[in-house]
Amino acid sequence: MKLDKNFFSENIKTLLYALIIAIVIRSLLIQPFYIPSSSMEPTLLVGDRLFVTKYSYGFSKHSFPFSLPILNKRILFNSPERGDVVVFKTPADNRTDYIKRLIGLPGDKIQFIDSNLYLNSSEILKSKILIKNKIYCGKRVIDVYKFEEILPSGKKFHTVYLKDYTYQNSDVFTVPENHYFFLGDNRDCSKDSRYLTSVGYVHKDNLVGKAQFIFFSSDRNIGSIFAFWKWHESIRFNRTFDKIN
């Protein structure tokens, strides 16, 4: 069979167009992420796969694959709201993706007193909803109290604290201009803005996008996703298309 001389060139063009479209979608619209750690439990579990909207807060160089230096500052900026679950590049290396909950806006003062979270000198209200609960911290299973916390805006979400409240008191964290303060919902098992040398305050240019919903979730402790005979146990069907609060 004789092939048309344009066969290969047309197919290469099609592949290039598909690649360009994929890059545009990933950079400007939506990007999938995988949750590898337990720092956001109970909101996000290890094995959750979720979609993040890249346009929610505008665009910076971190909107592009490999953080290509296409932009030298954030454009079309929309300020995130307190309580958003946000993907950002860690200030330590401007490369690693973290996902945490936004607690402090520029100018806010955050402090822990007797294991209670204070925002601008007012305690964040929380009510205990489970006295006994087990949750992951890395590979360890830990005993925690589960709470519903309410931000001043009325935003509600669930957090967990170790029963012995290991993180009890802190200095006052004052969020600098153009920066944000993030916490993990798994409060005693999260490396976040409380740790200034490793994460600290996050500049607005480091924001990647807003977590929107889970599109797939599997429990790797039960078995690999390739072990189809365990899908009835390993796949968390009840989390599919869950909106992230």
What are the catalytic residues? 39, 100
Q: Give the DSSP letter string of 40-55.
A: TTTTS-TTEEEEEETT
In angstroms, the CA 56 to CA 189 distance is: 28
CA distances from 146 to 100, 107, 135, 155 (A): 18, 29, 10, 17
How many angstroms separate the CA atoms of 13 and 24, rounded? Answer: 16
Residues pairing with 45 in the sheet:
none
Residue type, 120: N
Helix/strand number for the chain, H first, E second: 2, 14
Work out whether the CA dihedral 78, 80, 86, 91 comes out positive or negative.
Answer: positive
Contact 151, 145 (CB under 8 A): no
Q: Give the C-alpha separation, 155 to 150, whole Å.
A: 6
The torsion angle over the Cα atoms of residues 101, 66, 203 and 212, rounded to 10 degrees, is: -30
The 8-class DSSP code of residue 205 comes to G
- Classify residue 102 by burial, with Cβ atoms within 10 Å: 0-12, 13-18, 19+: buried
Residue showing tokens 């709201």: 81
